[in-house]
Each structure stands twice: as structure tokens, then as C-alpha cells.
Amino acid sequence: RDFTYIDDIVEGVVRVLDKTATADAAFDTAQPDAATSYAPFRVYNIGNHEPVELMAFIGAIENSLGKEAVKNMLPMQDGDVVATYADIEDLRQAVGFSPATPLKEGVEKFVAWHRDYYKDQ
């Protein structure tokens, strides 16, 4: 999986807000190019562009919380993808942005936020 810290997602969205898409007059519906369109919009992947094993993610959460997770190990489920991560090259080319918060740092910040937000509950 490709785990991305929320601040990186927000930064990516804010940057593309100022990048108004335009229609491509040369777009050919007979030979479409996924990187362009006759419509004035663009779709960008915003992700950390680095696959992370699920157990590494769980380990980062465990370390941040200071406790071990209760795990129920199951085989791959229908629809699961063995490996996936965001291809951010279009985002990088368009606005010069690459999400960069390391997994450990992002999880630590999330856990700190979560503890603070729910401290009275």
C-alpha cells in the first residue's frame, strides 16, 4: 500500500487549485491519451509514491502507541492488491510537488493528533 500523511494530501490539493486545467484541442478520441483530455480537467495521484508493507505500517502504529496490536492474520482477500502505490509524475510535472512525509513521522503525528483530539473521551 501507499500510505500518505494528510498534510501531504492537503498540500497537493492546494497546489493544484492554482493550476487551472485547459482543454487539449489536439485530443483525439480515436486514440485517447490518458494524460490529456478534451475536457478542461485533470486527475492527479497524490500519494507518497512508495509501497509500504502492511506489517511495516502496523509496526509504525504499534511503536507510536507503545503497544502491540491484536492481529487476526488472514490470507489475501478477493479484490486485494499485492502491491500498489501512487504514480505522482503528472503531479510533480504540473506543480513541482512530491509528498515526502516518511511513514514513521506521519504515523507519529497522527497518533499525537488523535490522542489530543480524543483526550476527553
- 6-117 falls under which CATH superfamily? NAD(P)-binding Rossmann-like Domain (3.40.50.720)
Domain ranges of the chain: 6-117
The mean of the pLDDT values for the chain is: 92
pTM of the full structure: 0.82
Each residue's pLDDT tens digit, 20-79: 888 888 889 899 887 778 888 888 999 999 999 999 999 999 999 999 999 999 999 999
121 pLDDT exceeds 90? no
The span from the CA of 55 to the CA of 52, in Å, is 8
Element (H, E) at 13: helix 6-17
* Burial of 44 per CB tally in 10 Å (0-12, 13-18, 19+): buried
pLDDT > 70: what percent of the chain? 100
